Chain A
Amino acid sequence: MLRFLVRRAAGYGVLATVATALGYVLASLTLHPAARYAGRTPPVPPSVVHAELAALGVDPGVPVPARLWHWLTELVTHGSLGLSVRGVPVTAEIAARAGTSLRLLLLGSLLGALLGVAVGTWGASRQYRWPDRVTTVGSFVLLATPPFVLAVVLMTLAVRLDSAAGRTLVPFTGEYTPGLAGGWPAQLGDRAAHLLLPTLCLALGTAATWSRYQRAAMLDVLAADHVRTARSMGHTRRSALWRHGVRVALIPMSTFFAYSFGLILTGAAITELAFSWHGMGEYLVRSVVDDDVNAAAGTVLFTAVLVLLAGVLADVLHAALDPRVRT
């Protein structure tokens, strides 16, 4: 099993490296850092523009492969991702934002996956009866609702709730209330309260996707002979479902997890923006607006690493659930 995982991880590593290089090239080709200096009063002399861009390593006069090589060697030798256009090291900025994004991503995707698997299993085990119909309609509506619309729906509900209660029960702007008194227990509680709506927003969207796939996988398994065999050998319906149904249905889901992770990341980025969190999603959008090549490339690297980790995790889950791949 270890050899299987190591081989897969090495493959992912190569892919992530190439993908990051591609991301850097794409950012270099589509973003125009020199445009930041255009139209300023007083006009910036071309020599200054040239010197500042060269200091960042984004001088358009240097061919893209040479810039990529410089960026990669800096990354490997110094662990540096360069400076952003605001002069802050990209690694420092990512370190400051990663926690924000990961908190939401971990909680939201975990909750969403559990909810999705539970709802999908429930629906499949009562196919075409009311639980199945209600969850199917619900998931279709949620799938058609982009995260930023869902965020506004949740915020509107929270405002209704707050005004009914006469005080703020569910705070939802930003990650915490600035200048809150009461020491760390109060601040921790405040952060948890701020997490509620964004997590729900991400989890609901994720659960909608997952429940559809889990329902389909579960229906395939329920029709399979081994579940009927388990029933005929005296297992109760519940035990046959759990021990021989859910476990088998989860095997394709572990592969699906690797594929859907990109979608979850996108959902998380949009959710962050909708709730004005200063996470990686905001960093990516700001880097594009600012024509900041280093920041954009750093975000792509961060994301590729996350996808890679998700891929390894999916393989581990797959190996844990399915003994056939462990050889």
Chain B
Amino acid sequence: MAVTDLTATSAPRSGAPGVLRRTFRAPRARVGVAVLALVVLAAVLGPVLSRWDPFTSDVTAFGRPPTALHWFGTDSSGRDLYVRTLVGLRTSLAVGLVAGPLSTLIAAVVGAVGGYLGGRVDRVVVWGIDLALVLPSFYLLVLLAPTAGRAGWFAVALAIALLGWMVMARLVRAQARSLRRRDFVTAARFLGVPTGAVLRRHVLPHLASLLVVDATLGVAATVLTEATLGWVGLGLGPPAVSLGTLLAAGSASAVTRPWLFWFPAGLLVVTVLATSLVGDALRDALDPTTGTAGE
């Protein structure tokens, strides 16, 4: 944001500290960040605190409700659900943290290139986005899921990212189109700055707020998508554990052994809720059209 006319008009709102301060003025952001910190802490440290590991069976406790020994109970083969849930949470968070920002990156590149270059490239981009919107991405994801699931969590994240960028790309494209006509971009172009550099230095920084929000909300959406794939039975294969695979096993016994379902389900809802609260507060703080962050 080095160009004078823009920094002049947007000075009160530019800069990360101001954005963070405005974000945290909203109570929902404080709650969201606090809960999210707890969730991440639990995923990182939680399994270490227990004496069990996610794969070994306790032959003295098959399908037991929560006890002092097994904090979240055990599944039908005697594996400790507390450790399995938190290890599964690790996988789900990893998938979310990779796929959310990655799909934003794809959307940013595709949208900015199409919107900025215009002409034939733009028409191809728009057509590609429209095409991708005609096919519900979840249906294609279901086709890809078994292949990706065999390859591991990173492949699942990759598949989710590859099928989740289209709506954002449209927004980025529209913004890039209007930025193209702004004086500072024209100036840079006439000074002979290469196209790639114009995009990197002048176009994408102006979309930063949009992209940050999308990446945050993308994490939440990805965690949900992974869980849904796992629940359908097409996500990660055993022995890998994620919230999705745990829910797949747990939902069958949600009535007879409720702890197998409610612990992973509750953790999933809390994680997604906290992430989307943070994303929403960020959006309000970054969006110049929404008054004073609402409070």
Contact = CB atoms under 8 A, between A and B. Distances in A.
Say which size band chain A's interface belongs to: 35 or more
Contacts of A262: 133, 135-138
A149 B269 contact: yes
B147 interface: yes
Interface in A126-144: 128, 140-141, 143-144
A299 B136 CA distance: 11
Interface stretch (B40-48, B85-93, B271-279): B271-279
Interface string B234-253: 10000000000001000100
Interface stretch (A22-30, A70-78, A196-204): A22-30
Interface string B264-295: 01001110110011001000000000000010
Contacts of A317: none
A15 B130 contact: yes
A111 interface: no
A299 to B, nearest CB: 7
Contacts, number: 115
A281 to B, nearest CB: 9
Interface string A16-34: 1011001100110011000
B265 A259 contact: no
Contact of B273 (A12, A140, A274): A140
A128 B294 contact: yes
Contact of A144 (B140, B254, B269): B269
A152 B251 contact: yes
Contacts of B140: 23, 26, 300
A205 to B, nearest CB: 11
Contact of A269 (B138, B254, B272, B277): B138
Interface string A242-265: 000000000000000001001101
Interface string A132-174: 0000000011011111110010011001000000000000000
Contacts of B220: 144
A104 interface: no
Contacts of A259: 133, 167
Contact of B135 (A149, A289, A300, A311): A300
A218 interface: no
Interface in B128-147: 130-131, 133-140, 142-147
Q: Would you call the interface of chain B mostly helix, strand, loop, or mixed?
A: helix
B28 to A, nearest CB: 8
B110 interface: no
Nearest to A273: B232
Interface in A9-53: 12, 15-16, 18-19, 22-23, 26-27, 30-31
B134 A270 contact: no
A266 interface: yes
Given A15-B131, A30-B146, A300 B139 contact: yes
Nearest to B266: A149
Say which size band chain B's interface belongs to: 35 or more
Contact of A289 (B130, B233, B265, B294): B233
A247 B227 CA distance: 37
Interface stretch (A56-64, A228-236, A301-309, A318-326): A301-309
A311 B140 CA distance: 19
Given A30-B146, A140-B276, A146-B231, A303 B251 contact: no
A285 interface: yes
B276 A143 contact: yes
B176 interface: no
Given A27-B143, A128-B294, A270-B232, A308 B134 contact: yes
A296 interface: yes
A19 B139 contact: no
Contact of A152 (B137, B138, B144, B265): B265
Contacts of A23: 135, 139-140, 143
Contacts of A273: 232
Nearest to A291: B146
25 contacts: A19-B134, A22-B131, A22-B135, A23-B135, A26-B140, A140-B276, A140-B280, A144-B270, A144-B273, A146-B231, A147-B228, A148-B228, A148-B251, A155-B254, A156-B255, A265-B138, A266-B228, A273-B232, A285-B232, A288-B145, A296-B143, A304-B134, A307-B134, A307-B136, A308-B134
- In the A-B complex, the 8 residue pairs with the smallest Cβ-Cβ separation, listed nearest first, are A262-B136, A144-B273, A144-B272, A266-B138, A19-B134, A19-B135, A149-B265, A15-B134
Interface of B: 130-131, 133-140, 142-147, 167, 220, 224, 227-228, 231-234, 247, 251, 254-255, 261, 265, 268-270, 272-273, 276-277, 280, 294
Given A31-B143, A140-B277, A143-B272, 12 more contacts: A18-B131, A22-B135, A23-B139, A144-B272, A152-B261, A262-B138, A270-B232, A285-B233, A288-B142, A300-B140, A300-B143, A303-B139
